[in-house]
Structure 1
Amino acid sequence: MRMQRVPSLVDLCVQVAIDNVRYLGDVGETDFHLLERILPHCTLDQLMHIEDCTEGTDLSPVTDILWNKFYERQFGANNTNVVVERMRKNKVTFKWKQLYEAKSKDMEEAQQKSIDRLRQLYQKEDARKQSRQVRVCTKVPPSSRKRTFYGGVNASNICNTKSGLMKKAKLEFLNSREVKNLAAMKSKVVQRNRSVAPMKKPVVSSRFAASSSSKLTK
């Protein structure tokens, strides 16, 4: 039966550091061969925090390869290859942390420019819509005529209007053909009655009346 290897004290310390990597800060006094086992378990923010907290020690011999992986993961393999080719062609070398920070800054500036451009477009569109909605209105002075409760003219004006309409209707009625025919017929009847002489009642004298009454009494 094969015996299980007992972890050394160093292995136990490294495992404890890995389990609590989010709490690490200044690791300047830690050997690089131990950091090579611990720091690959850090996230980007955790690695940035450890390097910012570590003073007096350059961790790039351990962290440069880690930043290279973060760069490729964030910006793609094509951009990473372009950077490598440019450094080889220009015979210069930059730390991948610096390259990552510079690329992130460029991306933020480009994004901010895009946001500003969109904001300007929205502002222009809003101004154009508001210019279409605004209309110059001239103030009309209130009318001197009195208004009724329902917003109409005064009652006297209504009465005058009604009387005028009645007069107009009456004139139209009097000037109509039917009324004229009736008037003509009436005038003919009046003329006919005037042409016939009236019958006179017989006049009885008082003497004749007295003799007649005496005869009747006998």
Structure 2
Amino acid sequence: MLSVRAKIVMGREVPSLVKLCIGSAIANLRYIGDVGALDMHLLKDILPHCTIDQLMNIEKSTEGVDLSPVTNDLWRKFYEKHFGDEHAKLVTRRMNQKQVVFKWRQLYEAKTKEREDFQNKSAERLKQRYDEELAKRQSKQIQICSKVPPSANKRSFFSVSGHNVSHLKSNLMKKARLEYLKSNEVANAAMRKNAVQRKSLPTQSLSGLSKPISFPGKGSASTSQARYRR
């Protein structure tokens, strides 16, 4: 009776030293590494409270001691939680069919790597498609030309209407004709033509004077005399 009374203080049972140690270990799992010195029955109370990273760190830090008798079921629960119960059952059936056994930690790591590789490849394909679409859009964009714009005079000359262009052409033709008529060659040609015409006038007049002049009276008299003699 005394021993029982000694364990009860203020209506509560006083925890044993082992339970205090287990509670302290659970509260400080993020600081725990190598647990090779602990008994397996203690680890069964401590390790179920670990996260994935904490359990992975403890197993990697504990060298020379196989913790799978305690951690294998824990890794199976993590596998089912992250990849689904159906997939976990499928893996179990395949191991039974092939008569092989893998630790669930190994299966979890392999499946995690497979999923990461798939996500990386998917991200790479998406990036490639994005780059292709971006290149297509850039090729369709209007490219700014660095040429200097024409001056206002050139723009006004080329922007005139058809009527103004024809009127401008006629004025240019008239101006060209006037310049041609005023040129020295045209003036010299006109002078030569006038000189030739003046030289030809005396010859025509002399040829006209050399012809015999017929008087109507004398001709008629001689004709009448001839008729009388006959």
Q: TM-score range by the shorter chain?
A: 0.5 to 0.7
Out of 97, 102, 106, the position equivalent to 2:110 is: 102
**Deviation (angstroms), 1:55:** 1.2
- When normalised by structure 2's length, the TM-score is 0.58
The 5 Å alignment of 1:137-176 reads 139=147
Q: Deviations over 1:100-132 (max 9, x none)?
A: 000000000110111011111111101111111
1: CA distance between counterparts of 2:75 and 2:81? 10
* Identity between Structure 1 and Structure 2 (%): 55
Structure 1 unmatched ranges of 5 or more: 154-160, 169-218
Local SS of the residue matching 1:121: helix
Q: For each residue in 1:144-196, what CA deviation from the matched residue of structure 2 results, as whole angstroms up to 9, or x when unmatched?
A: x978xxx868xxxxxxx9xx99xx9xxxxxxxxxxxxxxxxxxxxxxxxxxxx
Q: Indicate how the Cα distance of structure 1 residues 31 and 138 shifts in structure 2: closer, same or farther if over 3 A, else same.
A: closer
Question: What do the CA deviations read for 1:24-52 (whole angstroms, capped 9, x no partner)?
Answer: 11101111110000000111111111111
Moved over 6 A (4+): none
Name the residue aligned to 2:139.
Answer: 131
Residues in 2 aligned to 1:19 and 1:27: alpha-carbon distance in whole angstroms? 15
Gaps of 5+ in 2: 158-163, 172-230
1:59 corresponds to 2:67: yes
Partner of 1:77: 85
Q: Please, what TM-score do these two structures have when normalized by structure 1?
A: 0.62
- Structure-2 separation of matches of 1:83 and 1:139: 69
Structure with max Cα Rg: 2
Q: Could you say if the C-alpha distance between residues 132 and 15 of structure 1 is closer, same or farther in structure 2, counting changes exceeding 3 Å?
A: same
Partner of 1:6: 14
Partner residue of 1:92 out of 100, 105, 109:
100
The Cα RMSD (Å) is: 3.0
Q: Distance in 2 between matches of 1:12 and 1:139?
A: 85
Bigger helix fraction? 2
Q: 1:180 corresponds to which residue?
A: none
